[in-house]
Amino acid sequence: MSQFRRALAISFKDIESYYGKPPLITWGLLFPAVLILSLYVKDPATYLAIAPGIIAMTLLFGNTSMAAIVVTFEKRAGTFQRLLLAPLSMRTIVLGKTASASVYGIATALALFLGLKFALGMPLVNPVLLLAGLILGAGIFSLLGLAAAVMVREVFEAMTLMNFVRFPILFISGVFMPLSQMPPWLKPLALMSPLTYVVELLHLGVTGRSDFATPVIPLLASLVFFLASWVLAEIMFRRRAYS
């Protein structure tokens, strides 16, 4: 319990120092909002086929970037050493850093969704699945950002490293094209991407439609990806955080 409270302290401090800053919030909101509005202006009847995917894409880019930037920045400034000197387990540090980055991702995605709901009348069929998609997506992508951050020294190195992963999975994960319309050779790859399941959960939440027979599949798959990302981040922190 004591370690949990310390993780909360790390999260609150990070939100206060980094995530709560207006430029960051507006960047996280404006980029996807403009993209979705463009789609809506082009064709109000079909924008919903892509809007949930764009919200998922925002989570992917926002959370991996922010989690990595915060850790790399603190490593450069020497302040990350304060966490390593304090009586904190590595799990506590990972939890604290992930929670703050996830809160940022979920809050901006929710604000975006609410804005679109009021402005464009975006539907909300299943709020539980929408929230599950946001929480799991934000968690997975924050953890991957953290894992990348401890492997490098500079922010640009973290971004380069993650771009090798982010752009390919953006292409294969059904953000711009539903799974059912993908060429058969691409489908197995899509099923290996965590973004695929996050996109599906958001589609289920917003429109109620999905390419999977049951919501249990994307839900369980996202959970498995979340746990795997957690294990990866914790292993990377144990091995590399002190270097």
The residues binding other proteins (CB under 8 A) are 2, 5-6, 9-10, 13, 16-17, 77-79, 81-89, 242
**Distance between CA atoms of 140 and 229, rounded to whole angstroms?**
6
**Distance between CA atoms of 156 and 145, rounded to whole angstroms?**
13
* Minimum gap (Å) between residue 81 Cβ and other proteins: 6
Nearer to other proteins, 21 or 117 (CB): 21
Nearer to other proteins, 38 or 81 (CB): 81
Closest-CA residue to 129 (of 12, 220, 20): 220
* Minimum gap (Å) between residue 22 Cβ and other proteins: 14
Cβ-contact 174, 190 below 8 angstroms? yes
Nearer to other proteins, 12 or 212 (CB): 12
Ramachandran region of residue 121, left (φ > 0), alpha (ψ -120 to 50) or beta?
left
* Minimum gap (Å) between residue 161 Cβ and other proteins: 25
**Distance between CA atoms of 123 and 126, rounded to whole angstroms?**
9
Nearer to other proteins, 2 or 180 (CB): 2
* Minimum gap (Å) between residue 76 Cβ and other proteins: 11
